[in-house]
Structure 1
């Protein structure tokens, strides 16, 4: 199995999807009124699809997973380019920090990072910071799910960081959570895992539960994939293997 999708909720998937496609230099996979999907490749490294799915009202819960974007060699120029695509500056009380906090066209926060050695091989997405109540426990689960391995993150950054075995692509950073997850509120951004041929869904479920994950009871109707929570309550989907 492997990490396939970064999934975002949006009222207008086309508006948000086009923004992220241009922001990340992605290639369009599909577009319809209810969703927008774009593919982001890192040569020799991972392929991640950014999938924007429609929700009836704008998400409002605290963000537990967000995108940190690479500075592209010139942080200021990258910020100006994103402003031109429809982003805006955002004040979340960050104070004097070397990164720039911004929001996409529907207000979902993201950051444009400063130059850091840890991001030199990341590609357009520097990192995927995910809130965790126990970074060591959650790193074991996400390592199993994604196949990514432990690496050193930026100095003073998250206590646990994972990266694709190629050593390329974004970091998945397990960050100490500022507050416990509200299990009644769905994360506005979550990750999808894709099974591969030969993966046994029952065995995968047993391993997820054994590493602190749990089944997620939802009212979304029948789905062709399984929904779980990691040990910190963050939703994740395990998609069936492709034919």
Structure 2
């Protein structure tokens, strides 16, 4: 029994516009399975692929607050020229520079058309084989506690756990990393961005949810009503969903 991240879920006033931005930003294809939901997926996206992490944008009526999201994406680059070119292209697509207190750093902090922050990293050898998304970064207070919970929740492999961060990646050694980064400040508002997790075909959704609760997850009611997925929070209150579908 285990789960794996398969989607970064983004809430947006205009799911089509935000979904289009991310599809063009990452060089992925755009799909809309139903009104109010737009996905950006790599070509040949396969739910069974251990490297498969897509973006799902869901329409909501509430505008984003000014509070920084506690989950964001870091995008990979292969050279200084590629970083500069990517930043310029993203800005032409509607991204804007933002100041989150980063100071003088070698990466560039931007926001998508609805203000969701992300970073364009300087070239780093460790991210050469991740694809366009290098890291899914989650702000946290205690990386060790996050390592304990998420290390049991997921089938991903821990790569490094320190007082500053806890880093995971697929056991197959492919796709993006997942990093829980020690960050000042507590969570104060629901995030516009969260992870969607998927079970394996032979596992049971309710059994997985029960297992997560035993690890320290809590139930979450965001007014979702009767839906086939399950909304939960980790021990620090980060929202995530366990999808109903199997990966078959």
* TM-score normalised according to structure 2 size: 0.87
Deviation of residue 110 (structure 1)?
Answer: 0.7
Q: Following the alignment from structure 1 to structure 2, what is the Cα–Cα distance between the partners of residues 63 and 134? A: 17
User: CA offset at residue 158 of structure 1?
Assistant: 4.7
- Counterpart-to-counterpart distance in 1, 2:244 and 2:33: 22
The match for 1:79 is 87
Match of 1:191 in 2: 195
Q: Which moved more, 1:57-66 or 1:13-22?
A: 57-66
Structure 2 partner of 1:93: 101
Q: Secondary structure at the match of 1:66?
A: strand
Could you report, residue by residue, the CA deviation over 1:23-54 in whole angstroms, capped at 9, with x for unpaired residues? Answer: 11112232654121111369985111200111
Residue of structure 2 in register with 1:49 after alignment? 54
Deviates most, 57-66 or 187-196:
57-66
Q: Kindly tell me: are residues 45 and 194 of structure 1, through their superposed partners in 2, closer, same or farther at Cα, counting changes over 3 Å?
A: closer
Count how many residue pairs are aligned between Structure 1 and Structure 2: 239
Cα distance in 1 for partners of 2:191, 2:165 equals: 22
- The structure 2 residue matched to 1:178, chosen from 162, 166, 184, is 184
Mark the CA change 1:179 to 1:188 in structure 2 (over 3 Å): closer, same or farther. Answer: same
Say which SS state the counterpart of residue 53 (structure 2) adopts: strand
Question: Partner of 2:72: helix, strand, or coil?
Answer: coil
Q: Is the 8 A contact 1:14 1:33 kept in 2?
A: no
Give, in whole Å, the separation in 2 of the partners of 1:40 and 1:67: 16
Q: 5+ unaligned residues in a row in structure 2: which ranges? A: none
TM-score, with structure 1 as normaliser: 0.89
Where do residues 208-219 of structure 1 align in structure 2 (5 Å cutoff)?
208-219=212-223
Give the root-mean-square deviation of aligned CA atoms: 2.4
